Amino acid sequence: MSENFFLDNPDLQFRLEHLDLREVLELKEKGYSESDIYPTAPRNYADARDNYRIVLDVLGEICGERVAPRAAEADEEGAHYENGEVTYAAATLDAIEALRQAELFGAMLSREYGGLNLPESVYQMLVEMVARAESGLMTVYGLQEIASLIEEYGDPETKARVLPRFSSGEVSGAMVLTEADAGSDLGAVATRATLDEATGQWHLNGVKRFITNGLADVSLVLARSEEGSTDARGLSMFLVERDATVKIRRIENKLGIHASPTCEIQYSNTPAILLGKRRFGLTRYAMNLMNGARLAVAAQALGIAEAAFREADKYSRERVQFGRPIRVLPAVGRLLLSMKVDLEATRALLAETGRWVDLWKVYERALGEGGSEADPAMRARYKQSQALAETLTPMVKYCATEMGNRVCYQAMQVHGGVGYMREFNIERLFRDVRITNIYEGTSQLQVVAAIGKLLNRSLDPLLAEWQAAEYPADMATEKALLAELTGLFGQAIARTEDSGRGRGGPGRQPGSARGDPGPAGMTSARRRRAAALVQRPGLLPRRVQPWPSVWSILPVVRAPIPAVAQTRHDASERCRLAEPARFGTRMRLPSTQRVGV
């Protein structure tokens, strides 16, 4: 039977089916007016959804048939470095070629530049499948936010030159932020950007490290453009097209994602193009880039976890101990069930987050085009979607990547001793997933990014919407749970505010860290309190006890989302494992999980 990573995943199809993109697509597809110009453009909402299904199906087949079978080989060979040049493993090159032939690059770019004009929420589903197939490859395919940022802020001439080449897969991108002394604290970036006033040309000098896909032809580089500055406000974003002045000094020898080259790069008088405005390099452009990349890393962790779960599921059917397949032993069954619930809850949260990011982007663009004439309702919707997207993004990055690590750990446990051996795929997945809660900001930095927004109560409208929604009668328990958790969440925020009141300055603010600048409109006192809470050693666990309950709401987030409520699965189907009798127990899940284990 042929393998297809979309068609073999009912939960992913379920997510797509219940992703309500009507409002997003009306704006994104400009009232479906592009079908006259581009034959591939949808004529209406149903048409657009059909297109997404086709794209996912095509990629699903490539992932299942061509990429996944060579994943172990890609890991074993890894990327090479020789005489300043980096080459991908043979399996990676083959996978890139397959993606190119299927015209799956330029996923989110406009059709004007040869792109597919996909919403972020659908793109993340593609990324999840690629990561499930080979997580190193995901770091090449999943860097498409770079092209999107260029489309958003680049000048017309650069866009016309560079973007069609991204869409054809001829060039790839790199996000070049980190330096030896500037990791979480990107405000400390020291790479210099100097402007030749006579020619108007910028040049970069400095060394960057840990750069994924550093061999890319087009890079976005964060550099200090304002002489004498020492913080985030002196940084700008630059576009570099690789030439002889860009030297790759080495690639890292690392634990996992071996097919993904992690490069140290030296810039020596490298010509560069300023992207957007000076001084907004970190606070606007890098944050924008990282927000997209955080969703992609969340999707990566989810994809790896999906692969790990399937390995554990398969092994538990085949391995016999005490005369029975180990999956019928309650302890093993519980591990499988816990993994499955984790996966589905995370997929729901990622889809919900993607939808808010999509809304934010389309309203931002519409307001940009409409200027100050824009109607107030549109402005309000823009503000709401921005606040929710900015809050949910670090939360989903945190939850998905911690979940991915947890699931891979449990999947190895199901394998027993053989899981520790190279011959079994779980060993590779266990190594690969470890990076996800480190890059694009560690989990601790996701807390830094989210806490200010949570204290600003930016999640409240969404929680209120979920509480007010109509649910089927058989979801009364879930509804009560939602009410209880929302109450706890409110108490957590109130107590956090109390315990933070009157505390002193925190040193460097979250705005200068890989965290984020904090929500617009947040008072400086609130901002200071948030920073104090997350940055003072020992303060968080000791004095802010309710904080964990902020996170505890997330695993059940799947239950309340209205999309889930629309479908009414047979309760017995969703509340037990496939072979419940052999477990001797029925396990009630907190939501509409369909556990087809």
Q: Which residues of the shown chain bind ligand FAD in the complex (CB under 6 A)? A: 175-178, 183-184, 210-212, 254, 262, 435, 438-442, 444-445, 448, 513-514, 534-535
CA distance 147 to 545: 42
CA distance 282 to 516: 9
CB of 439 vs ligand FAD, minimal distance in Å: 4
CB of 255 vs ligand FAD, minimal distance in Å: 9
Q: Which is nearer to ligand FAD, 194 or 442 (CB)?
A: 442
Q: Which is nearer to ligand FAD, 106 or 261 (CB)?
A: 261
Q: What share of the chain is helix, strand, coil (3-state, %, to 5)?
A: 60, 10, 30
Q: Which is nearer to ligand FAD, 513 or 563 (CB)?
A: 513
Please choose, from the candidates 205, 143, 151, 204, the residue with its C-alpha nearest in 3D space to the C-alpha of residue 171: 143
CB of 67 vs ligand FAD, minimal distance in Å: 20
84: left (phi over 0), alpha (psi -120 to 50) or beta: left
Q: Which is nearer to ligand FAD, 71 or 251 (CB)?
A: 251
Q: Which is nearer to ligand FAD, 177 or 348 (CB)?
A: 177
H or E element, residue 240: strand 235-241
Contact 61, 2 (CB under 8 A): yes
The closest residue (CB) to ligand FAD is 183
CB of 536 vs ligand FAD, minimal distance in Å: 10
CB of 440 vs ligand FAD, minimal distance in Å: 6
CB of 69 vs ligand FAD, minimal distance in Å: 25
CB of 360 vs ligand FAD, minimal distance in Å: 23
282: left (phi over 0), alpha (psi -120 to 50) or beta: alpha
CB-hemisphere CA count at 13 Å for 271? 7
H or E element, residue 146: helix 145-153
CA distance 400 to 396: 6
Q: Which residues contact 46 (CB under 8 A, 6 or more apart)?
A: none
Task: List strand residue ranges (DSSP E) for 111-234, in order.
Answer: 173-176, 192-196, 201-212, 218-224
Q: Which is nearer to ligand FAD, 174 or 485 (CB)?
A: 174
CB of 529 vs ligand FAD, minimal distance in Å: 15
Q: Which is nearer to ligand FAD, 250 or 254 (CB)?
A: 254
CA distance 366 to 548: 38
Q: Which residues contact 338 (CB under 8 A, 6 or more apart)?
A: 410
Q: Which is nearer to ligand FAD, 110 or 260 (CB)?
A: 260
